[in-house]
Amino acid sequence: MDLLKVPEVLQLAGNVTENWKRFKQTFESFLQATAATDQPKTEASKAALLLSTSGDEALDVFNNFQFGPNEDKKDYSTVVRQFDAYCAEVSNEVHER
C-alpha cells in the first residue's frame, strides 16, 4: 500500500473539462484501491476525500457552489455533479470567446 499515489490536484486552468475527467477517473481509482471490503466509505467520507485531494482552488470553487434544498453538500454524488456542471460551464465559456 506504500506505493499508492494520492491523485494530483485538480487543474482549473487550460482544458478544465478534460482536467476534471482525468482527476475524477484517478480519484475514483484511488477510492477503489483504498476501499476496505469490511467497512465501505460513506458518501460523506468520499466527498471529504475528494475535497481534501483536489487542492485549494477546487475547494474555493466548492465553497461557491449553490446547493438546492434537497441537495447535501456532503454527498459524494452531489459534489461530483456540481463539479461536472462547473467544469463544463467553464469550458463552454472559454470556447464561446
Task: Tell me the average pLDDT across 18-29.
Answer: 97
Q: List Cα–Cα distances, 23 to 76, 83, 96, in angstroms.
A: 15, 11, 24
Question: For residue 73, is it within any domain?
Answer: yes
Question: For residue 65, is it within any domain?
Answer: yes
Local confidence band at 97 (pLDDT 50, 70, 90 cut-offs): very low
42-73 tens-digit pLDDT: 999 999 999 999 999 999 999 999 999 999 99
Question: For residue 27, is it within any domain?
Answer: no
Question: For residue 1, is it within any domain?
Answer: no
Question: For residue 23, is it within any domain?
Answer: no
- Mean pLDDT score of the chain: 91
Question: For residue 79, is it within any domain?
Answer: yes
In angstroms, rounded to a whole number, what is the distance separating the alpha carbons of residues 37 and 96?
46
Residue ranges making up the domain that contains 55: 42-97
Question: For residue 33, is it within any domain?
Answer: no
User: How would you write 50-63 as a 3-class SS string?
Assistant: HHHHHCHHHHHHHH
Radius of gyration of the chain (CA): 14
The structural domain count of the chain equals 1
Question: For residue 18, is it within any domain?
Answer: no
- Residue 55 backbone zone (phi > 0: left; psi -120 to 50: alpha; other: beta): left
